[in-house]
A and B are shown apart, each in its own frame.
Chain A
Amino acid sequence: MNALKRFGLGLLWIFLIPFILLGIAVVGVFGIINFPIQLVIMIVNFFRGKKVFPMFEEDEKAMAILQKAIDKQNGEEEARKEPPAPQQVFVQQNYYGAQPPIPPAPGPGIPYQNPPYPQGQGIPYQNPQGIPYQNPQGIPYQNQPGYPYGLPQNPYPQPTQAPNQNGGMNPNPIPVEAHEDNIPKIELSSLPQYDDKEEGE
């Protein structure tokens, strides 16, 4: 089949070859005239210290536009790669002479959350996880006795929970690692709701 196709194309080329050869002859003559002209331009550029084949003006404009687009894109990419550093606000909560509210002992399966603060020691608030202070509920500063710097805020806003969900277990427990040094962790402003019956079970 290919041979037949080539045969057919060959017949076509028999008719086209004279025109093709004529075209090649015309371009050949043009090329012979064009060659010395371009050669002279090339030699003049060489002795002027320019590139032998310098870029055309249109190509230079196109390159400038493309370079601008690349620079713009690189600028945007750098901005995306390095977002502005989050501002960390450390809130120092000192309980001088007053004990912070001690949460009830957690029931079975509920992770230990907040060790009691040693009395009399103003252990400053520490933010080991680098979580910035958040006040999502917009609770204003409240000057309560025992809380000279206002009520401690809960930086981990918890969704409102329906009572007795999951058998009273907190479906969104705050993961806290137990440390022997008892570094005080983040104080909860709202304590999880537990049924009295389930405590200690």
Chain B
Amino acid sequence: MIFRVLASIQLSETDRKALIILLIVLVLLILILGLIGVAVRQTMLYQAKRADTMMHDVAVTHVIDNPKAFRRFGFKKNNRALFRDSLVPFAIILSALLLWVVYNIFSHGWGRNIWEEFGDLFFRFKIDNSQYPPDDPLWVKVFGMTILARWPEAVEGYPRFEANHIVSYIVCAATIVSAIYYAVICQAYISRAVMIYVRSNSVYEKSLAGFKASEDIKITPDKPIPPAD
């Protein structure tokens, strides 16, 4: 029955192309996200070791001997580590901002859209359906979803370099780089915080697994241990 229903569905050439593109995009997206996930996991492992290094001495010397103090001290150290790590991205973004302010003071171009000028460096595509003929639209509806039918063929603009937009290029590139850098640092902070919390419990926990009071000969009690009820 199901196979008959599926066989009865007839897709046009455009729909078929759209589905194939959708599948490829979906697979690529999942693979890319998987790689990002691997990178996130590696960062977490590295930062977990860094958290151990931060807290090792105070734990082994018993300067801190309870979980609450461990977490409090870990929070202080983690904040300082966050500050030290974020010096670089903050320096980049502050330098870019300073450059933009100084340039606008001298060029009187405060109203300019620096992101549109930054788009000079990339391809521009026609993404509006009205720019395409009705029998060959760019966007189609498949199973209720509006998806791309094909790769946008018409290119509105090719990458070009304009000298009077150079400050926009620098400021936008610096902003993107510092944003990504800062996001990684924040993720590192979260990793360290998680590790500190886990260690605050595991370092000070005590286990009675394997201990037998009747067999313990290190401590000699005054009287024999009574039998269990």
Contact = CB atoms under 8 A, between A and B. Distances in A.
Interface string A42-60: 0000000000010010110
B34 A6 contact: yes
Interface in B15-71: 27, 29-38, 40, 57-58, 60-61, 63-64
A53 B190 contact: no
A7 interface: yes
Chain B binding surface, main DSSP class: helix
A169 to B, nearest CB: 54
A108 interface: no
B83 A34 contact: yes
Interface residues on A, range: 20 to 34
Given A35-B86, A62-B63, A65-B63, A11 B73 contact: no
A28 B86 CA distance: 10
Interface of A: 3, 6-14, 16-17, 20, 23-24, 27-28, 31, 34-35, 38-39, 53, 56, 58-59, 61-63, 65-66
10 contacts: A10-B31, A13-B36, A13-B37, A13-B40, A20-B187, A27-B186, A31-B82, A56-B73, A58-B58, A58-B63
Given A28-B183, A31-B182, A31-B185, 10 more contacts: A6-B35, A12-B37, A27-B82, A31-B83, A35-B86, A56-B73, A56-B77, A58-B58, A58-B63, A66-B57
